[in-house]
Amino acid sequence: MNEHVNTLITELQNATFKLDAILDVYQENLDYFNEVDRRKITDFKVIFERKREAIDASINSFVRFIKKSFAPSQKDILKEKALQKLHNDFPDFDSWDENVKHALLDRELKTLFSRQSVNASSKRPTTGESVYLDNPNTDQPHSINENFVFSKPYKIEFLSKEYAVKNWRDVLCVIANSLYTDNPAPLNSYIVNDDSKKPKFAESILPNYRRPIEIAKGIYTDANRNATDMLNLCRLLLQIYSIDEDEITIYLSKIAKNE
């Protein structure tokens, strides 16, 4: 990867350490011997650390995206392998005629591509083979905007409360039930004003809901959705209630298996 990109990634990962200065400044302006100020400091620290963890998770997700974007293509990797093999087989390869070098490189690339295709076919998941892998970092927090394809949650933190969940449907139900129980008006208003052919939420089971579920008392949606769609509904609920997305933190028990 480009050295400049690596430097920028390191600076980005170190950015959250500078946030400690904000905490120091906040504490300097308060009196530890004053009970009210002590409570302010305690409350500030709790929220500060939770939000910083969310920032860390977002930065880590962004760094993974950058590394993946700047990673060499499969074609570049195979070309490097082909050249390395040709140099090993023919030490004076660089001094040969360009047309001969090109022909040999092209032949070697075709061989490597052919082998790769055969290997890919042999590694293709069979029926019933799991696409999940046990998450080695179950304590790592994740933001709601990450890619959760072939991932499974086991816990979320929402509005300073912790909930055990088994799947993305549970995540949606926790958010919907928590918000609607506390204040049904925003979601009711959204439902009344939603004139789409297939409303995302409804006060009754609609005919075009293939797998209807009740996500809050008297509120239904179609559960025939993948993880991405479920999380889109979660984000929609946050928008309806004007809740910041960093108010939810997700913890995973399973992650995607990388072949």
List, for residues 21-72, the tens digit of each pLDDT value: 777 777 777 776 777 877 887 888 788 888 877 787 777 777 777 777 776 6
Q: Are 32 and 41 in contact (CB under 8 A)?
A: yes
Shared domain check, 160 and 119? no
Shared domain check, 142 and 228? yes
**CATH (domain of 220):** 1.20.1380
Shared domain check, 246 and 207? yes
Is residue 112 one of the residues assigned to a domain?
yes
Residue 151's Cβ-count burial label (10 Å; 0-12, 13-18, 19+) is: buried
Shared domain check, 200 and 244? yes
> Looking at per-residue confidence, does 11 or 206 come out higher?
206
Which of these, 180, 225, 181, lies nearest to 200 by C-alpha position? 225
Total structural domains within the chain:
3
Here the tokens at position 209 are 């809901």
Q: Which domain holds residue 221?
A: 133-256
The answer to whether the pTM exceeds 0.85 is no
How far apart CA 243 and CA 227 sit, in angstroms, is 21
Which of these, 54, 15, 29, lies nearest to 156 by C-alpha position? 54
How far apart CA 19 and CA 2 sit, in angstroms, is 28
| Predicted confidence (pLDDT) per residue in 114-143, tens digit | 766 555 555 555 545 566 788 888 999 999
